[in-house]
Amino acid sequence: MHNLLDFIKKYNYWFLFIFLEIISVVLLFRFNSYQGSICFTAANEVAAKVNTYYTDFYHFVHLKDVNKNLTSQNVHLQMQVSQLRDVLAAINKKETKNEQVVNDSLSGYTLIPARVTSNSILKNENYIVINKGKEDGIKTEMGVVGGGGIVGIVFLTSKHYSLVMPAINTKSNISCRIRNHRYFGYLQWNGGSTLIAYLNDIPRYAKIKVGEYVETSGYSTVFPPGIFVGKVKSVANAPDGLSLQLKVNLGSDFANLSDVCIVVNKERPEIDSLKAKLSNYETTQ
C-alpha cells in the first residue's frame, strides 16, 4: 500500500494530465456536432470490423461441420438430379409399369456421414480409413462418396473403423456410364496421377464427346445411378482394339479428402438373399 501511494505521488502530474485530456475529449465530442459525428462514425467502423473478425473466426471454427453438411447435401443433390433426369426423359415417352418401378429405385438408399482419418495416394494399391465401422452399420462392399463424386468401396470393417478401396487403387473396378448415352463400362486406375482414371469396355460405335459426364451406372448394389464420377478428357481405342477407352478427369480430389458418406442400399439384403438362392440352386443341379 505504501509503495502504491509513493507511485501516485511521484506521477500525480501525469495522472492529472490524462484525466484532463479525457474530460476535454468528452466535452469536444459531446457538445460539437461535427466532431461527435466523426467519433460516432469511427466507432461504428471499429465495431463493424470487430464483428467481421468475430464472424470470420466463428465460421472458421465451425468449418468442419459446414464441410460435412455440404458433402452430404451434394450427394443428395446428385441423386435427386439423376432421378429428375430420368423423370424428364420419361415424360417424352410412354413408360411401362416396370420402368416406373426402376425410376423409383433411388428411394432405397440412405447416407451415413464419416470422416477420413488416414489416406494414401502415392501407391498403386491405395487405401482410405474412415471413422465408421460395424457398430455404425457399415458393411463390406458399400459405396463411399464425397462432395466431388465417388470415392471408393468399403473393403474391410472393424468395430469403429473401415478400410476403403478408393477409385485410385489399381484393383478398383467400378461400373460407370456416360450420362444421356447409357453406354456403360468399368472405371479403372492405372497408377500415376490421382486425377485421371480410364473407363473401359465402351462400344466402338458409341459417339462420345470430350467433356461429357461420367456417372455411376447403378448396375450393382454398391452405388445408386447418377453419382458423379468425372468428365471425359479424351477418347481413344482400347489396347485390344475391340472397344473404346475413355480418359476421365475424376471429380474427387483424393489428395484432399475430409468428409465422405457411405451409401447404404436398404434393399441390398433382399437382393443378396436372392443371389444366394440362385447360387445354391446352381450347385444342386
Contact present, 245 and 199 (Cβ < 8 Å)? yes
User: What is the structure's pLDDT at 201?
Assistant: 93
Find, among 77, 163, 147, 156, the residue nearest to 113 by Cα: 147
Find, among 268, 169, 181, the residue nearest to 221 by Cα: 268
Read out DSSP for 259-271? EEEEEEETTHHHH
Cell of 218: 447403378
- Please give the chain's pLDDT, 285 residues, in tens: 666 666 666 777 676 777 777 776 666 666 666 555 665 556 556 655 665 665 566 555 555 665 666 666 666 666 666 666 665 555 555 544 433 433 444 456 888 999 999 999 999 999 999 999 999 999 999 999 988 889 999 999 999 999 999 999 999 999 999 988 878 999 999 999 999 999 999 999 999 999 999 999 988 888 888 889 999 999 999 888 889 999 999 999 998 888 898 999 877 767 667 666 666 666 666
User: What is the structure's pLDDT at 106?
Assistant: 44
**Pair type for strands 149-157 and 162-166:** antiparallel
- The domains located in the chain, with CATH, are 2-60 (no CATH), 108-266 (2.40.10.340)
User: What is the structure's pLDDT at 169?
Assistant: 96
User: What is the structure's pLDDT at 146?
Assistant: 87
